[in-house]
């Protein structure tokens, strides 16, 4: 066997690991508050690489300090770099401990960089018959690739590596490893801050090196190049090119004081490693070590056996032995808990677990009393589902303490699975399986007949809820999110449960009437379109439609999708003038959307027993804290176009002589923006009660404070206001209002001059997101942004826009949630019959007896206004009528 040498670029890998896990920075700390992202990531990388390479010798090289022989050659080498974040540098001493526990040597050498140590050792190794693997995050080290050296460059995170052999280098770049320094010499390096030849980037550099082999040869044969700007730059920057090549060249003759014989590797020192993991709080690595002894066991770790008793009518007194702090789980196999069957339940207190398939037992004493008790705390998974499910059995679940689903969502909106098992695993709790492994998936999914299997699974679920309560509550506290959970999300789950259970009444006949009218119009339009096209085709198929429009009728192609021509509205709008068929297609689309989604879709979900629609609000889905609505979605019922708006005629009160009453926040997101930015001018506009879009128009068009604003200016200003909330880009704004990018850029610049507070806020929030990896709303709702430090421009830009938008959209969501909770208790306190039915992001819809309408007109706006106190007033507008349509 050939001997193996492993050389790791310590700084570079630690840096990569740090930024790869940057979005998790808040979550990766040990008990002393030390950040552990880089250490954790480095450990992942080590484990990964040691699976591939079994080294006989290993060393991790570090940079010794800022000054090296390169800074002597060029003062500004690596100048202008941001200081290493404190959160990373504090990890370095511990990283070296980890390396030591792994049984590896660390080494650094004054005046030299880690690269040079690695280069020198790789060369030595090669001479002594070693095969060398270099691990780094820096692609420049690929110059070391050779017959005996492979350079593994970490890719996305730290465990994905790309192996550079000489063949791979030439495949990727078209040049040999030794020519990389020539390439770097010509193109320079912005991160190391050396210049190269101006206007020469990677592409040009490679072209030149392919032609001339090296910088030296290039300059000897410059005559071969035709006169060009590039040639002038080459002549002009000759010295820079030569210097940059020197800087890029790794020194393989560094005066290191170690040699390969002294860095022999014989595996990790288990005891020290365990101690280290304990200190760092790396439980997952610890548990892996336990498994490492029995290496052959690749199956799922055995779930710790649970002992549970099966309940029946005759042994219900067992429930009396349960103590406070109860975990309860009701299994509803269908997603829709309004209609799902009940498969069984589990209940327990941490030591005793009781299970049954017979949910009627829940209505028996003492189980029912326990569930309805206002003093015995219950822990669940999905409080809202439990409340709705139990309500169907005639039980009012009370005193919920802990909701595993809700708390997990608040801790990290990114991993919001609806499966208890999956979620538990994410929290490093493994004594419960996922539903998929026990119930199967797709058509095969079913509750098992085998009692042992089923009872164990649901008892495990109840136990998982119990076990995760303390650690997750602790993390809420660390994130300052306890109030958000206790005062907002948990009470809200009950409010939402009540709204869902109440449901909204639908006039089925009215829907059906509209449906038949639409059917008629559709068939007329269909005939016209077929005539205009000269053939029959499926108008709903973008593929077939594209063929007709762009191939047969030869209309100009405006936009393409991945799979063919785009036929989206904005494209068709532009083709309107070219052919009458386009207009008809647009109308057809609009009508058929109404027909299929709203008429047929809604009719499908009306409950036959009460002629009502019971939507489900998803409380743990969105990344911003908003709700979403499914089965059906009642948050996107048409309103903008009159034809669609008519659908709202079908939403009616559930009693005679009642009305629909609706209140919405006016401009809530812009008001939140004014509050969080503290921008004086924006705040002033709201405090003075101005038309905000007109006011913005006066500022960005530099009009007098009392000047008239024409419709077009107001429209453009409105788009700018929206743009600011969305995390503006000149391109997005230009597309939205059909102006050039340059004009859009000018608008944005003027906006920022006029609203400097907004500008500062945006800069600050983006910077803070880069640093902390997450952003927060008014109530400390948190959203992690894993891509905020991505190298990919698109991903990073998207994350930056999200960083601006989420605190705004999310705080608005916080506010209406608070209002909803206060609203429900206000209705109750005042003894009103009015019911809150729907929430549409900034709007609340109620039904109420006619005589209560005057009360609501005062009460609802009052509660909504005063939900929070901001530096600008909130404004609420109300309307009411016989149907939702008339409540406008």
Residue that is written with structure tokens 């409950």 in the block: 607
Nearer to DNA, 374 or 794 (CB): 794
User: Is residue 83 near DNA by the rule CB under 7 A?
Assistant: no
Residue 177 CB, shortest distance to DNA, in Å, is 26
Q: Based on the shown chain and the rule CB under 7 A, indicate whether residue 723 belongs to the binding site for DNA.
A: yes
Q: Count CB atoms within 10 A of the CB of residue 246.
A: 15
Only one of the segments 346-354, 459-467, 721-729, 828-836 lies at the binding site for DNA (rule: CB under 7 A); that segment is 721-729
- Can you spell out the DSSP letters for 309-369? EEP-TT-GGGGGG--SSEEEEEE--SS-TTT----EEEEE-SS-EEEES-GGGGGSTTHHH
Nearest residue (CB) to DNA, 372 versus 623: 623
Residue closer to DNA (CB basis): 252 or 587? 587
Q: Report in angstroms how near the CB of residue 210 gets to DNA at its nearest.
A: 21
User: Measured between alpha carbons, how far is 377 from 196 in angstroms, rounded to an integer?
Assistant: 68
Residue 482 in contact with DNA, rule: CB under 7 A: no
Q: Indicate whether 266 belongs to the interface with DNA (CB under 7 A).
A: no
CB of 203 to DNA, least distance (A): 10
Is residue 516 involved in binding DNA (CB under 7 A)?
no
Q: Report the interhelical angle of 668-677 vs 793-829 (nearest 10°).
A: 110
Which residues is 876 bridged to in the sheet? Answer: 665
Stretch that binds DNA, among 3-11, 107-115, 700-708, 790-798 (CB under 7 A): 790-798
Region near DNA per CB under 7 A, out of 89-97, 206-214, 427-435, 723-731: 723-731
Report the site for DNA in 408-447 (rule: CB under 7 A): 442
CA 535/CA 533 separation, integer angstroms: 5
Q: Say whether residue 798 binds DNA (CB under 7 A).
A: yes
Contact with DNA (CB under 7 A): which of 203, 226, 444, 604? 604
- Placement of tokens 């001339």 in the chain: 212
Closest separation in Å from C-beta 215 to DNA: 25
| 754 is a contact residue toward DNA (CB under 7 A) | no
Q: Which is nearer to DNA, 780 or 801 (CB)?
A: 801
Interacting residue with DNA among 267, 556, 601, 873 (CB under 7 A): 601
Report d(CA 835, CA 653) in Å as an integer.
Answer: 10
Q: Considering the complex, state which of residue 374 and residue 563 has its C-beta at the smaller distance from DNA.
A: 563
3-state secondary structure of 180: helix
C-alpha to C-alpha distance for 25 and 317, rounded to whole angstroms: 49
Window 16-75: residues binding DNA (CB under 7 A)? none
Q: Is 558 exposed, middle or buried (0-12, 13-18, 19+ CB in 10 A)?
A: middle
Kindly state whether residue 204 participates in binding DNA, applying the rule CB under 7 A.
no
Nearest distance in Å: CB 522, DNA: 11
SS3 413: coil
Query: Is residue 203 at the binding interface for DNA, with CB under 7 A as the rule?
Result: no
Contact partners, residue 606, CB within 8 Å, separation at least 6: 506, 508, 612, 613
Q: Where does 527-604 show beta strands of DSSP type E?
A: none
The residue written with tokens 């916080």 in the block is: 814
Using CB under 7 A, which of 37, 136, 677, 805 touches DNA?
805
- First vs last C-alpha separation in the chain: 81
Three-state SS at 664: strand
Select from 73, 292, 446, 641 the one that contacts DNA (CB under 7 A): 641
* Residue 596 sits in the site that holds DNA (CB under 7 A): yes
CA distance 418 to 320: 31
Q: Is residue 843 close enough to count as binding DNA by CB under 7 A? A: yes
By CB under 7 A, name the one of 191, 217, 633, 740 that touches DNA. Answer: 633
Contacting residue, 493, 624, 696, 883, with DNA by CB under 7 A: 624
Residues in the chain: 888
Among 528, 506, 526, smallest CA distance to 518 is for 526
Respond yes or no on whether the N-terminal peptide bond of residue 597 is cis (omega within 30° of 0). no
- Nearest distance from residue 535's CB to DNA, in Å? 14
Looking at the Cβ atoms of 268 and 632, the one nearer to DNA is 632
Distances (CA, A) of 656 to 74, 289, 300, 460: 86, 69, 60, 49
Cα of 862 vs its chain's centroid, Å = 35
* Interaction between residue 515 and DNA (CB under 7 A): no
The rounded Cα 881 to chain-centroid distance in angstroms is 40
CA distance 806 to 358: 45
Which listed residue (736, 743, 768, 822) binds DNA by CB under 7 A? Answer: 736
Size, binding site for DNA by CB under 7 A:
75
Say whether residue 882 binds DNA (CB under 7 A).
no
Question: Is position 614 an interface residue for DNA (rule: CB under 7 A)?
Answer: no
**Residue (460 or 662) nearer to DNA, CB:** 662
Q: Min. distance of Cβ 411 from DNA in angstroms? A: 16
Assess 730 for contact with DNA (CB under 7 A). Answer: yes
Contact between residue 132 and residue 298 where contact means Cβ atoms under 8 Å apart: no
Which residue bears the tokens 């008892």?
459
CB atoms under 10 Å from CB of 665, counted, come to 24
CB of 584 to DNA, least distance (A): 12
* Of 306, 310, 396, 420, the residue nearest 358 (C-alpha): 310
Q: Which of residues 31 and 640 has its CB atom nearest to DNA in the complex?
A: 640
Question: Is 161 an interacting residue with respect to DNA (CB under 7 A)?
Answer: no
Residue 753 and residue 748: Cα distance in Å, rounded?
9
Near DNA in 538-577, by CB under 7 A: 538, 540-544, 561-564, 566-569, 572
Q: How far is the CB of 718 from DNA (least distance, A)?
A: 9
- Interaction of residue 453 with DNA, rule CB under 7 A: no
Taking the least distance from each CB to DNA, the nearer of 29 and 587 is: 587
Q: CA-CA distance, 859 to 337, in Å (whole number)?
A: 33
Of 94 and 751, nearer to DNA (C-beta) is 751
| Interface region with DNA, contact rule CB under 7 A, candidates 24-32, 483-491, 595-603, 678-686 | 595-603
- List the interface residues with DNA, window 205-244 (CB under 7 A): none
In whole angstroms, the minimum distance from the beta carbon of 668 to DNA comes to: 8
**What separation in angstroms does the CA of 733 have from each of 345, 359, 403, 713, 801?**
53, 56, 42, 14, 13
Phi-psi region of 61 (alpha: psi -120 to 50; beta: other; left: phi over 0): beta
Q: Does 636 contact DNA by CB under 7 A?
A: yes
| By the rule CB under 7 A, 727 interacts with DNA | yes
Which CB atom, from 24 or from 667, has the smaller least distance to DNA? 667
User: Tell me, what DSSP letter sits at residue 488?
Assistant: I
Provide, rounded to whole angstroms, the least separation between the CB of residue 572 and DNA: 7
Query: Which CB, 97 or 800, lies closer to DNA?
Result: 800
Nearest to 183 by CA among 198, 201, 165, 164: 201
In this chain, which stretch among 206-214, 706-714, 800-808, 857-865 interacts with DNA, using CB under 7 A? 800-808
- 712 touching DNA, by CB under 7 A: no
- Compute the distance between CA of residue 144 and CA of residue 148 in angstroms, rounded to an integer: 10
Question: What 8-state DSSP symbol labels residue 852?
Answer: G
> Token digits for 415?
């991993």
Does 141 contact DNA by CB under 7 A?
Answer: no
Q: Does 646 bind DNA (CB under 7 A)?
A: no
Segment lying near DNA (by CB under 7 A), choices 24-32, 161-169, 188-196, 534-542: 534-542
Instruction: Region of 443 please: left (phi>0), alpha (psi -120 to 50) or beta.
Output: alpha
Return the closest-CA partner of residue 616 out of 380, 357, 418.
Answer: 418
As measured in angstroms, the least distance from the Cβ of 254 to DNA is: 35
Minimum distance between the CB of residue 558 and DNA, rounded to whole angstroms? 11
Q: How far is the CB of 642 from DNA (least distance, A)?
A: 10
**Which of residues 542 and 861 has its CB atom nearest to DNA in the complex?**
542
């Amino acid at each position: 066997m050939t001997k193996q040498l492993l050389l790791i670029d310590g700084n570079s890998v630690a840096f990569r690991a740090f930024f790869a896990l940057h979005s998790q920075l808040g979550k990766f700390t040990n008990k002393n508050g030390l950040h552990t992202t880089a250490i954790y990531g480095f450990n992942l990388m080590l484990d990964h690489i040691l699976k591939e390479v079994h080294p006989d010798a290993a060393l991790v090289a570090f940079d010794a300090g800022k000054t090296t022989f390169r800074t002597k050659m060029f003062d500004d080498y690596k100048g202008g770099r941001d200081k290493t974040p404190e959160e990373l540098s504090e990890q370095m001493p511990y990283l070296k401990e980890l390396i030591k526990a792994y049984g590896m040597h660390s080494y650094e050498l004054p005046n030299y960089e880690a690269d040079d140590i690695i280069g020198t050792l790789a060369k030595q190794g090669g001479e002594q018959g070693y095969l060398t693997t270099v691990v780094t995050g820096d692609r420049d080290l690929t110059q070391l690739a050779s017959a005996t050296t492979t350079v593994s460059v970490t890719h996305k995170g730290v465990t994905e590596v790309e192996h550079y052999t000489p063949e791979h280098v030439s495949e990727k770049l078209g040049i040999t490893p030794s020519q990389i320094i020539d390439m770097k010499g010509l193109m320079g390096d912005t991160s190391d801050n050396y210049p190269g030849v101006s206007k020469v980037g990677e592409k040009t550099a490679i072209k030149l090196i392919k032609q001339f082999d090296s910088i030296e040869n290039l300059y000897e044969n410059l005559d071969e190049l035709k006169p060009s700007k590039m040639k002038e730059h080459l002549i002009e920057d000759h010295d820079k090119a030569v210097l940059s090549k020197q800087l890029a060249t790794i020194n393989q003759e560094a005066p290191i004081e170690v040699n390969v014989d002294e860095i022999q590797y014989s595996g990790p020192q288990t005891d020290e490693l365990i101690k280290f993991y304990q200190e760092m709080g790396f439980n997952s690595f610890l548990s892996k070590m336990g498994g490492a002894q029995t290496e052959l066991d690749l199956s799922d770790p055995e779930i710790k056996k649970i002992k549970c008793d099966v309940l029946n009518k005759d042994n219900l007194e067992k429930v009396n032995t349960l103590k406070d702090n109860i975990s309860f789980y009701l299994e509803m196999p269908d997603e829709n808990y309004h209609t799902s069957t009940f498969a069984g339940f589990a209940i327990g207190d941490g030591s005793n677990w009781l299970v049954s398939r017979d949910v009627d037992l829940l209505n028996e004493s003492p189980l029912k009393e326990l569930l309805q008790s206002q003093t015995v705390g219950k822990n669940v998974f999905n409080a809202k589902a439990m409340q709705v499910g139990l309500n169907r059995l005639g039980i009012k679940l009370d005193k919920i303490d802990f909701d595993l689903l809700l708390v997990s969502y608040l801790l990290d909106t990114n991993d919001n699975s609806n499966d208890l098992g999956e979620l538990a695993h994410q929290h490093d709790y493994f004594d419960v399986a996922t539903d998929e492994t026990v119930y199967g998936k797709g058509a095969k999914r079913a509750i098992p007949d085998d009692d042992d299997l089923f009872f164990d699974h649901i008892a495990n679920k109840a136990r998982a809820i119990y076990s995760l309560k303390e650690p997750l509550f602790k993390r809420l506290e660390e994130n300052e999110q306890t109030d958000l959970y206790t005062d907002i999300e948990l009470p809200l789950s009950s409010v939402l449960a009540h709204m869902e259970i109440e449901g909204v009444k639908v006039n089925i006949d009215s829907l059906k009437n509209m449906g038949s009218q639409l059917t008629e119009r559709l068939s007329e339009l269909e005939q016209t379109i077929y005539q205009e096209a000269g053939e029959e085709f499926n108008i709903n198929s973008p593929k077939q439609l594209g063929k007709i429009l762009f191939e047969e009728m030869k209309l100009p192609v405006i936009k393409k999708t991945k799979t063919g021509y785009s036929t989206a509205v904005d494209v068709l709008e532009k083709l309107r003038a070219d052919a009458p068929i386009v207009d008809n297609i647009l109308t057809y689309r609009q009508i058929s959307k109404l027909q299929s989604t709203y008429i047929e879709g809604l009719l499908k979900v009306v409950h036959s027993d009460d002629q009502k629609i019971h939507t489900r609000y998803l409380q743990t889905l969105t990344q911003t804290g908003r709700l979403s609505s499914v089965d059906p979605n009642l948050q996107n019922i048409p309103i903008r176009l009159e034809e669609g708006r008519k659908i709202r005629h079908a939403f009616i009160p559930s009693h005679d002589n009642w009305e629909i009453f609706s209140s919405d926040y006016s401009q809530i997101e812009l008001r939140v923006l004014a509050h969080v930015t503290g921008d004086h001018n924006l705040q002033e506009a709201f405090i003075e009660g101005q038309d905000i879009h007109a006011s913005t128009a006066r500022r960005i068009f530099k009009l007098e404070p009392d000047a008239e604003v024409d419709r077009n200016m107001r429209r453009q200003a409105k788009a700018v206001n929206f743009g600011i909330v969305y995390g503006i880009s000149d391109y997005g704004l230009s597309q939205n209002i059909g102006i050039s990018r340059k004009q859009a850029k000018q608008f944005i610049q003027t906006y920022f001059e006029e609203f400097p507070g907004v500008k500062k806020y945006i800069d600050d929030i983006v910077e803070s997101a880069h640093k902390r990896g997450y952003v927060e709303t008014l109530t400390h709702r948190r959203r992690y942004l894993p891509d905020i430090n991505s190298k990919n421009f698109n991903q990073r830009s998207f994350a930056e826009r999200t960083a601006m938008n989420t605190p705004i959209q999310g705080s608005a969501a916080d506010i209406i949630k608070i209002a909803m909770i206060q609203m429900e208790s206000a209705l109750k306190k005042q003894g009103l019959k009015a019911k809150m039915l729907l929430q549409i992001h900034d709007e609340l819809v109620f039904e109420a007896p006619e005589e209560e309408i005057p009360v609501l007109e005062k009460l609802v706006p009052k509660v909504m206004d005063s939900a929070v106190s901001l530096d600008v007033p909130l404004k609420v507008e109300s309307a009411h009528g016989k149907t939702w349509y008339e409540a406008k």
